[in-house]
Amino acid sequence: LTHYLAKVETHNHPTAISPSPGAATGSGGEIRDEGATGRGSKPKAGMCGFSVSNLNIPGFAQPWEQAYGKPERIASALDIMIEGPIGAAAFNNEFGRPNLAGTFRTFEQEVAGEVRGYHKPIMIAGGVGNIAARDAHKIEFKPGALLIQLGGPGMLIGLGGGAASSMTTGTNTADLDFASVQRGNPEIQRRAQEVIDRCWQMGEQNPILSIHDVGAGGLSNALPELAHGAGCGARFELRRVQTEEPGMSPREIWCNEAQERYVLAIPADRLDAFRALCERERCPFAVLGEATADGRLVVSDSHFGNNAVDMDMEVLLGKPPRMTRDVAHKPRHLPPFDAAAVDLQEAAWRVLRMPSVASKNFLITIGDRSVGGLTARDQMVGPWQVPVADCAVTALSYQGTLGEAFAMGEKTPLALIDAPASGRMAVGEAVTNLAAALIGDIGRIKLSANWMAAAGHAGEDAALFDTVRAVGLEFCPALGISIPVGKDSLSMKTAWEDNGAKKQVTAPLSLIISAFAVCNDVRRTLTPQLRTDCGETDLLLVDLGQGKHRLGGSALAQAYNSVGEHAPDADAALLRGFFAAVQKLNADKLLLAYHDRSDGGLFAAACEMAFAGHCGVSLNLDTLCFDPLMNDADGLERKPEMVGGRFRDRLMGALFAEELGALLQIRRDDRAKVMQVLRAHGLAACSHTVGELNAADEIRVWRNAKALFREKRADLQRAWTETSYQIARLRDDAQCAQEEFDALLDASDPGLSATLTFDPAEFPPLKKGGGGGISPPMIAMGARPRIAILREQGVNGQVEMAAAFDRAGFAAFDVHMSDLQARRVALTDFHGLVACGGFSYGDVLGAGQGWAKSILFNAQLRDAFAAYFGRADTFALGVCNGCQMMSHLAEIIPGAQHWPRFARNRSEQFEARFVMVEVPQSPSLFLDGMAGSCLPIVVSHGEGRADFSAHGKQDSAVVALRYVDNHGRVAQTYPFNPNGSPDGIAGLTTPDGRFTIMMPHPERIFRTLQMSWHPDSWGEDGPWLRMFRNARARLG
């Protein structure tokens, strides 16, 4: 029995001071929390979000942005959004966890006489993992248990981070601010996680009794908590703590917040077995002490011959006094937002450029979304890979269709109008996002609530209390949803002096909800991609705002420097009915596309669905704009002056209000069935047919038979993408950013497609021993050749690689380079070898170079690999980091002398893409029978550009895989050629075809459900499984 686990936390202060390491260690700390659950668990997939003040992008000023200044010591909002996401993505990438969801909001505005905004940003990191039921609860270990530090060394970083983050930004000393920022080393955290994985995979023999991550307060917090949780005291020797810097004081050793560390308890008689695991993974560990029965915390220091700490555990961790706060509400008088004065044309362009609405592409393509091979729904949707997915979905395993779904929700500007409503709407947005997955009953959803507020600021404490009560005691119980986890950050204010003038920026009360649930069938997740191949269809709006069209706190209001006076709110009964109805409609296959209504309202939702479907949409607002207090449509026809005023207010509200709801695409013939389901769930009065597709590839808005708005879909999509482009232009290679932005001008772009010269469901014929193709019965009978799944420290792609070869009929063996060095394993035991993807040695010597040099400069290993490659009965595959490594072994691989090295991507950025490749004719045994095929594949790398300048010869190299654009031409431009390789080179082989290297990742998409998009006609097996079956067929 396996459970899913979830955790979400923030790292706001460090990200404000130093965005990249701040965000990196925010993600790293949350990953450790997942791995340190119970007696050890497996982090699986992540999410990440940012809230900042106005971006003020040079040359791209927006009309709602006003410069207010900031303290010198904190980063600007633009710098945070350039550097912070890179830090978070880089840590996840190198650790090997896909990032599949997130949020991004900007807000900085004068409201009721004070500046509200996110000078102190929100950086939120969360994720899901899996844990065996037997390991879910920590064991209360007995005195004598060994207490161990696992992972990296202590360093003089992050000192006082826990304290500094709880103060108003700008009021600390600059030294404390910068000293409090930690630094990340994901490669060593990966090593530690491998040790944890080896432990829990031992089942009943798991040596870990209890485990904690080392976070705020360092060892001074983690070790006492570990012992106290078991009802024990503890005795430690300070000088056993592994440190990187000489001369650290006892306080610095005990309290530093160096990352990538865990503390755990094991039985004394399991030390040798645990040491062997650590040595195999090359993961540092130290026995720091043992549990005692006296209830005291004693930290001895052999250097000074005294006790650095000697106290009762209860003094440190006993019950603290209960906090009591005397709070008062602060009435806020807000002017109304006059939507009637807004020009629809201008409003549309402004809203699409608002960061909370606009494309998040620049946040997404830098993050690996496929590592682990269990991603079933990432952010990118459809053949044109548009980042509009409502939720993320992961598969539970490499078999079956069960999984986990998760999504986020936040509506923080609403708190300036109605704080409890902002909380209910955050929950509502998370639920309407998660509704896209096939979950079943709403009660299966579990929430994490992350609360941010400026405690002590006038009115904010009372608003926080009201919102917690409204969400936790009223709204969620009415929905039947529980909130088992959450965290808070209650110092969301920035204060400083500017030429003697006191300034401050205070964040709105901010609740970010993360929602998680078991997914019944990961293949049935709905997306916003409008379908143009399903006959006549309609767009149906389910309006849970019941026609109120409140524009308070909306992107439209923000775009005109207003907040408004009436906030949207959520009704628990309607939301329950909505969720149940969508689940029923999905289960009955009555929905073609689904998108929640949120930032930007109906207009943005319709646009995003059109962008994903590469088609036009016509919206008709007649049913939404009807007002019983006004004349009907015929009356308006007779009195055109009524097109202004109240009518126009309702028009803008219908288009841009951010009330809860969703836009559904249904077959016209199914409309009666759909309405019957909606009616049965109490939603008939909320459901309106509001649109259809059009052949003109335009976004049109109609009212009373008049076209009020009409623009080319491509033009609006470029406006929606422009914010992302502008940041990418500053952050990455500017020419690459321009090429990607200009690709939107190609209205004829057919998107991803697949042309196969083979049947993915067929097994290839055996190459020796005669007979037909491999069959599942043959695999089941045990004819499984041994293949070495080779990895080095920092490699993170070995599990999905093993799963792919296992599916093809191999017996996959985990082989660490340390196994070969220690001669526990020999390459002579294998006919096949595959070098996996990841970040061996953290790529510090160049991608794959450290791994290769560990072979070439070790006589024993060099001889063993040369002998293996020299055998006529062997084959090898190198993927991504393994490709890079094997290119450096070309001198000992027969026929590989013309292979290139692999250099930094042309974009100067890590690229995670789903792109097209063609399989040219080549001798590669892995690609046998696939020549002439064009199909999508995953790429995830930072150094994938084939470079023949110093090594190899392009004219003589045997190309096995080539990037092509969506038209099938050899890809020369970005992002169709994601790294800038000449002639689109993505993979190479040797003249005899036994050795193949490639940068893309076929092992991550051997099942169709792992693919971000695939033709509906494909079955369970993805076409890339043929590669692994070819290898199996080669061995007969």
Mean of pLDDT values over 672-683: 98
Answer whether residue 420 is part of any domain: no
Cα separation, 345 vs 347, whole angstroms: 5
Answer whether residue 240 is part of any domain: yes
- Label residue 181 by pLDDT band (50, 70, 90): confident
pLDDT on residue 643: 47
| Upstream peptide bond of 98 is cis (omega within 30 degrees of 0) | no
How many other C-beta atoms are found inside a 10 Å radius of the C-beta of residue 718?
Answer: 17
Q: Are 66 and 111 in contact (CB under 8 A)?
A: no
- Label residue 1012 by pLDDT band (50, 70, 90): very high
Total number of domains in the chain: 2
| Upstream peptide bond of 975 is cis (omega within 30 degrees of 0) | yes
- 160 pLDDT more than 80: no
Catalytic residue among 880, 888, 934, 941: 880
Cα separation, 347 vs 351, whole angstroms: 6
pTM: 0.95
Cα separation, 160 vs 1015, whole angstroms: 53
Mean pLDDT of the chain: 94
Q: Are strands 698-703 and 706-712 parallel, antiparallel or unpaired?
A: antiparallel
Answer whether residue 392 is part of any domain: no
pLDDT on residue 163: 57
Cα separation, 3 vs 137, whole angstroms: 12
Cα separation, 733 vs 735, whole angstroms: 6
- 961 pLDDT more than 80: yes
Cα separation, 255 vs 259, whole angstroms: 12
pLDDT on residue 169: 63
> Which residues have C-beta within 8 Å of that of residue 66, sequence separation ≥ 6?
54, 108, 109, 110, 561
pLDDT on residue 332: 85
Mean of pLDDT values over 374-380: 99
| Helix, strand, or coil (residue 504) | strand
Cα separation, 883 vs 987, whole angstroms: 8
Answer whether residue 992 is part of any domain: yes
Answer whether residue 133 is part of any domain: no
Sign for the pseudo-dihedral over CA of 163, 169, 171, 173: positive
Answer whether residue 829 is part of any domain: yes
- 179 pLDDT more than 50: yes
Last residue of a domain, one of 283, 299, 322: 322
- Label residue 176 by pLDDT band (50, 70, 90): low
Query: Is there a catalytic annotation at residue 199?
Result: no
Tokens of 571: 């009704």
pLDDT on residue 320: 81
User: pLDDT tens across 851-902, in order?
Assistant: 999 999 999 999 999 999 999 999 999 999 999 999 999 999 999 999 999 9
With pLDDT > 90 as the criterion, what percentage of the chain qualifies?
90
Angle between the N-to-C axes of helices 881-888 and 849-856, in degrees from 0 to 180, rounded to the nearest 10? 40
pLDDT on residue 184: 86
Catalytic residue among 608, 888, 1003, 1014: 1003
Last residue of a domain, one of 301, 322, 343: 322
- 235 pLDDT more than 50: yes
Report DSSP state, residue 591: -
Catalytic residue among 13, 457, 688, 1001: 1001
With pLDDT > 70 as the criterion, what percentage of the chain qualifies?
94
pLDDT on residue 161: 56
Domain that holds residue 147: 140-154+174-322
CATH number at residue 219: 3.90.650.10
Answer whether residue 918 is part of any domain: yes
Cα separation, 103 vs 109, whole angstroms: 20
Mean of pLDDT values over 553-563: 98
- Label residue 174 by pLDDT band (50, 70, 90): low
- Rounded to the nearest angstrom, the gap between the alpha carbon of residue 765 and the centroid of all alpha carbons in its chain is 40
| Of 309-323, 772-786, 914-928, minimum mean pLDDT range | 772-786
Q: What is the DSSP string of 612-660?
A: HHTSEEEEE-HHHH--TTS--HHHHHH-GGGGSHHHHHHHHHHHH---S
Q: What is the DSSP string of 277-322?
A: HHHHHT--EEEEEEEESS-EEEEEETTTTEEEEEEEHHHHHSPPPP
- 346 pLDDT more than 60: yes
Cα separation, 285 vs 150, whole angstroms: 4
Where helices occur in 6-103 by DSSP H, the ranges are 12-17, 19-35, 77-95
pLDDT on residue 909: 98
pLDDT on residue 778: 54
Please name which of 373, 367, 376, 436 lies closest in space to residue 407, comparing C-alpha atoms. Answer: 436
Residue predicted with more confidence, 645 or 799? 799
Answer whether residue 134 is part of any domain: no
| Helix, strand, or coil (residue 565) | coil
- 626 pLDDT more than 80: no
Last residue of a domain, one of 306, 322, 338: 322
- 991 pLDDT more than 80: yes
Tokens of 20: 């990249």
- Label residue 321 by pLDDT band (50, 70, 90): confident
- 782 pLDDT more than 70: no
| Helix, strand, or coil (residue 50) | strand
- 456 pLDDT more than 90: yes
- 642 pLDDT more than 50: no
Rg, C-alpha atoms of the chain: 29
Cα separation, 933 vs 920, whole angstroms: 8
Residues in the chain: 1036
pLDDT on residue 634: 39
pLDDT on residue 633: 37
- Rounded to the nearest angstrom, the gap between the alpha carbon of residue 205 and the centroid of all alpha carbons in its chain is 33
Query: Is there a catalytic annotation at residue 137?
Result: no
Mean of pLDDT values over 723-736: 98
pLDDT on residue 67: 86
| Of 258-262, 515-519, 623-627, 675-679, minimum mean pLDDT range | 623-627
Query: Is there a catalytic annotation at residue 686?
Result: no
pLDDT on residue 167: 57
